[in-house]
Structure 1
Amino acid sequence: MSQSSSLNKAALPYAEALFESSQLIQLIEKTNQDLYLISDTVSKSDVLKKFLSNPLVNPEIKKKVLQKLFLDQVSSHVLNFLSILADRRRINLLDAIIDCYLNLVYKLKLTTVANIYTAAVLTDLQQESLEKKIQDITGSKEVKLVIHIDPELIGGFVIKIGSKIIDMSIYGQLNQMTSYLNVASL
């Protein structure tokens, strides 16, 4: 089992609990905004990331730091959730929990998340075209593109939606040709 799938397996119950409680008190959108803010803040600071993931740091100290950082920026609902994660020594799962939570929200809204790996930056027109095509293919109301730049692809793009992969990259085509030629030469 890969590390990311085991992280997601551990994070899912927390994400589901946050999702259900947010749904009950009708704070799904506010929780989304709060989680984006938290994720952005943590991802921009290596010191904060290391601090939160350090198992030797007392959970009470982590809670105080989180309180000071986010007190006036996020809802008390999300702040309480962060405290619970710190108490249970699960704050190191925060990124995975946020990803799982957002996936639950996307499912609720019939939003498909498509990871796009491309060799070059896509124009707005290309992104819109991809969104429409993916909407048609999946039947989703909305498509969220997560774009990753990967120069190894040489050109073209790879689309990943869940476990489905559409490889339209030059790198992928070269690999297919290599496989074909290797099999043909046997």
Structure 2
Amino acid sequence: MTQTADRYGKVLYDLRVPAEDVEQMKAALCAAPQLVKILNDPTLTKEVKHEIIETIFPKSLHNFLKTVSDRRRCDQIDDMLESYRACVRKEKGIVAATLYCVHEPDENQKAQMEQFVRKTYGVNGVEMTVEQQPDLIGGFVLRVGDREFDWSLRGRVRQLQQRLIRR
């Protein structure tokens, strides 16, 4: 994520736009991905782009989207939304975590992971994303922010190799 996208995401958060409006914007952009190209198109006038924005998106987002479009940064909207969501999570005391594993964990295992993250980071909640990675061989890797907890067989083999090389 670029610093620019991060700043725009924080501005969107600071505007206190209703979460429903942000979700509606995201849904519209997902439903019609060509909108991003249209709003970034240098051959269209600002007036045309502004009319499109006013027609499709909620009123609370008009000024924000007009600015993003005028500066031709619509291709960074996904990163802006991720920054916005990070601000919302921080306000609510929630941390985002990604669990990489060979097989989908059951509900009890997920609950234990979430409890570990809550205890380790002192947060109220965890937004857990699970991604399957067969190349881990077994075990799992838990990534929270820039910190990684590697309890995979692949990671254990790598640690053993490093110990043997150091000797």
Give the aligned partner of residue 103 of structure 2: 120
Q: Is residue 139 of structure 2 the alignment partner of residue 153 of structure 1?
A: no
For residues 16-165 of structure 1, the aligned pairs below 5 Å read: 16-22=10-16, 27=17, 30-31=18-19, 33-39=20-26, 42-43=29-30, 47=34, 51=37, 56=42, 58=44, 60=46, 63=50, 65-67=52-54, 70-71=56-57, 75-165=58-148
> Aligned equivalents of 2:45 and 2:115: distance in 1?
46
- Equivalent pairs: percent with the same residue? 23
Q: Is residue 159 of structure 2 the alignment partner of residue 172 of structure 1?
A: no
Give me the TM-score of the superposition, normalised by structure 2: 0.82
Q: How many residues align?
A: 166
TM-align CA RMSD: 2.6
List runs of 5+ in structure 2 lacking aligned partners. Answer: none
- Once the two structures are superposed, residues 97-116 of structure 1 have per-residue CA deviations (whole angstroms, 9 ceiling, x without a partner) of 11111111111111111122
| One-letter code aligned to 1:15 | G
Give me the TM-score of the superposition, normalised by structure 1: 0.74
Select the residue among 7, 10, 13 that pairs with 2:4: 10
Deviation at 1:183, TM superposition (A): 2.2
